[in-house]
Structure 1
Amino acid sequence: MRGTLFIVAAPSGAGKSSIVNAVLARDRSISLSISFTSRQPRPGERHAEHYHFVSAETFLEMIAAGDFFEYAHVHGDWKGTARQSVEPFLAQGRDVLLEIDWQGARQVRQKMPDAVGVFILPPSRKALEERMRSRGQDSEETIARRLAAAREEMSHYGEFDYVVVNEDFDTAVGEVCAIFTASRLRRDVQVARHQRLLTTLLTGEPSGRDGLF
């Protein structure tokens, strides 16, 4: 059976990356897709760990070659998910997590309507601004631009299946983990995963396996 594609999106400063990292530390069955971006690395960011950092020219060449599963122009830079970072894992039955923006999420949902989308909101606009400033990495001009874009980004929460408010970090992480667990227990997913078990339970015919699972 194919794996489940999880999408996590949020406005800049809502704590998306921190939540995703904490969720991945708890849930080892998910593969994180490392996005490509044309922006410069921030302090502490490493190539192929946080992003694949490439030039704008290289990014546009990849678009022309059809290398991306999704891509978008965000805050003046390109961001995208390469096909090889998603499709092979799903085909092998591995769950994949995309940490992307709403534009990329919309593209993904058009291709894969069964993807599970989670949108993370800040508890207030004041908290959002404070989180942006606490990074100490962006200029005032960049912060002003990101705050102006945040309202537009947050208006797309209705395109997602779940909404999590990141007021308390540990609570938000637990809620995202619960969403992933619940999604794996959906009837159609469980039927595909346990066809032999269901046949045994309903017909009495042996499944050819020891135990239920």
Structure 2
Amino acid sequence: MPDTRRGLLIILSSPSGAGKSTLAQRLTAWDPTLAFSVSATTRPPRPGETDGRDYRFVDDAAFKAMVSDGEMLEHAHVFGNFYGSPRGPVEQAIGAGKDVLFDIDWQGAQQIRNSALAAHTLSIFLLPPSIHELRRRLESRAKDAPETIAGRMQKSWDEISHWDGYDYVLVNEDLHDTEDRLTSIITAARLRRVQQPGLNAHVRRLQQEFEEST
């Protein structure tokens, strides 16, 4: 059997606080070969964040130049800052058979699904079990000011309203259960016909063997 595989673009989206960042970290622990897409952003670094590891921090002019030069696979303006996924590292990774994990919103997901790489995209949306639980999770992080939390809650329904544009939708009520379902989905998606470029050659060999044996 052919052992080559084309990489997947794995998109995780959710309203803020529904668990996508935590689950993205768990997925990279489950499979260390997953390449996490390092987004470019115009927002300033938070304490403990490192340029090139957490984000690629750029100013507005540099970001807009990357967009105009076609260097962004997707980009969006969120909470007053620009975010985007540089195209080059993603194309190199999937061409080498490595999956790339995206922690992005519905706008970025839509752009990737409409790109030339759409056939190799796996999109998953995470829903909270309730709006009350979503607010509780945001407040329990103790990272944001009350007005920031209010803004995130206001934006949450806009995010949720795009749930039906994804391949899979999971209600993240229990992290362990959601992680198990995510890994099952990814394992199956890796076996899609389009992800296995060696299948055509394998089938041709089978055909040749069949013709030679008859």
**Inter-partner Cα distance in structure 2 for 1:44 and 1:131:** 22
Distance apart, 1:37 and its partner CA: 1.4
Q: Could you say which residue in structure 1 is the equivalent of 2:148?
A: 142
**Inter-partner Cα distance in structure 2 for 1:79 and 1:107:** 13
TM-score (norm 1): 0.87
Return closer, same or farther for 1:43/1:131 CA change in 2, 3 Å cut-off: farther
Q: Could you say which residue in structure 1 is the equivalent of 2:70?
A: 66
The letter for the 1-side match of 2:54 is: H
Q: Are 2:89 and 1:85 equivalent residues in the alignment?
A: yes
Superposition CA RMSD, Å: 2.0
Q: Are 2:105 and 1:104 equivalent residues in the alignment?
A: no
- 1:109-129 superposed Cα distances (whole Å, 9 cap, x missing partner): 110332110011111111111
Distance apart, 1:74 and its partner CA: 0.9
Q: Are 2:148 and 1:121 equivalent residues in the alignment?
A: no
Q: Could you say which residue in structure 1 is the equivalent of 2:57?
A: 53
Q: Are 2:180 and 1:174 equivalent residues in the alignment?
A: yes
TM-score (norm 2): 0.86
- 1:52-88 superposed Cα distances (whole Å, 9 cap, x missing partner): 2223333223223332111000121111001122111
**Inter-partner Cα distance in structure 1 for 2:58 and 2:71:** 14
**Inter-partner Cα distance in structure 1 for 2:71 and 2:148:** 29
Return closer, same or farther for 1:55/1:136 CA change in 2, 3 Å cut-off: farther
- 2:182 counterpart SS class: helix
Distance apart, 1:173 and its partner CA: 1.1
Q: How does 1:162-201 map to 2 (within 5 A)?
A: 162-190=168-196, 192-195=197-200, 197-199=202-204
Q: Could you say which residue in structure 2 is the equivalent of 1:208?
A: none
Deviates more, 1:140-149 or 1:23-32: 23-32
**Inter-partner Cα distance in structure 1 for 2:137 and 2:41:** 22
Deviates more, 1:131-140 or 1:15-24: 131-140
Match of 1:9 among 4, 10, 13: 13
**Inter-partner Cα distance in structure 2 for 1:174 and 1:51:** 27
**Inter-partner Cα distance in structure 2 for 1:72 and 1:201:** 47
**Inter-partner Cα distance in structure 1 for 2:113 and 2:106:** 10
Q: Could you say which residue in structure 1 is the equivalent of 2:37?
A: 33
**Inter-partner Cα distance in structure 1 for 2:65 and 2:205:** 52
Deviates more, 1:121-130 or 1:85-94: 85-94
Number of aligned residue pairs: give it. Answer: 204
Distance apart, 1:196 and its partner CA: 5.1
Runs (5+) with no aligned partner, structure 2: none
**Inter-partner Cα distance in structure 1 for 2:124 and 2:156:** 16
The letter for the 2-side match of 1:147 is: M
